[in-house]
C-alpha cells in the first residue's frame, strides 16, 4: 500500500494542525508548526518557484518526518557516513539529535505500530518509484 493511500485511511484518526509561522528570507523557506496528536514539530518548505506560496498537506509533512525518523534511528556514525557529515562536526551532532527527538515525538504521537506501518508504506512507495 502506498503512503498516500495509507494516510488517507488513517487521517481521520489523527488530530493535527498546520500553522504557518512565516517566511525565512535568509534561508528562502516557509516555516510551519505542525501539531500531530499533541506533539509539535517544525516543518520547512523550500520554494520550487519564487513567488509561490506553498500549502503543504499532511502527506508532505509525514514524508518529511519519516525521513527524520529514519535518520534518528541510525547510530551517529552511520548517520554521518550516509549523509556525508563530518563526524567531528558539532552541527552534525545537533542535526542527528534533532532527528532522534523527532523519532521520539512521532512514537509518542502515533505509537510504534502506526509509525511502523507508515514507514513500511513509505519504503514500498520508494521501491515502486
pLDDT (tens, 9 = 90+) of the chain, 129 residues, equals 788 888 888 888 899 999 999 888 888 889 999 999 999 999 998 876 666 777 888 888 999 999 999 999 999 999 999 999 999 999 999 999 999 999 999 999 999 999 999 999 988 877 765
- Coil, helix or strand at residue 58: helix
Question: Whole-model pTM?
Answer: 0.88
- pLDDT value of residue 113: 95
The dihedrals phi and psi of 86, each to the nearest 5 degrees, come to -75, 120
Boundaries of every domain in the chain: 3-128
- pLDDT value of residue 75: 97
Cell numbers found for residue 31: 516555516
Nearest to 10 by CA among 105, 125, 113, 124: 113
- pLDDT value of residue 28: 84
In angstroms, the CA 114 to CA 121 distance is 11
Q: List CB contacts of 11: < 8 A, sequence separation 6 or more.
A: 58
Question: In Å, how far are 18, 31, 51 from 25, measured between CA atoms?
Answer: 20, 10, 12
Amino acid at each position: 500500500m502506498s503512503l498516500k493511500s495509507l494516510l488517507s485511511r488513517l487521517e481521520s484518526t489523527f488530530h493535527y494542525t498546520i500553522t504557518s509561522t512565516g517566511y525565512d528570507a535568509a534561508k528562502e523557506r516557509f516555516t510551519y508548526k505542525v501539531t500531530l496528536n499533541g506533539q509539535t514539530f517544525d516543518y520547512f518548505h523550500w520554494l520550487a518557484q519564487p513567488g509561490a506560496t506553498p500549502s503543504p498537506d499532511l502527506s508532505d509533512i509525514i514524508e518529511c518526518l519519516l525521513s527524520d525518523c529514519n535518520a534518528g534511528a541510525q547510530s551517529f556514525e552511520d548517520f554521518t557516513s550516509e549523509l556525508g557529515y563530518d563526524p567531528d562536526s558539532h552541527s552534525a551532532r545537533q542535526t542527528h539529535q534533532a532527528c532522534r527527538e523527532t523519532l521520539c515525538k512521532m512514537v509518542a504521537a502515533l505509537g510504534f505500530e502506526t509509525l511502523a506501518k507508515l514507514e513500511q508504506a513509505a519504503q514500498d512507495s520508494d521501491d515502486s518509484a
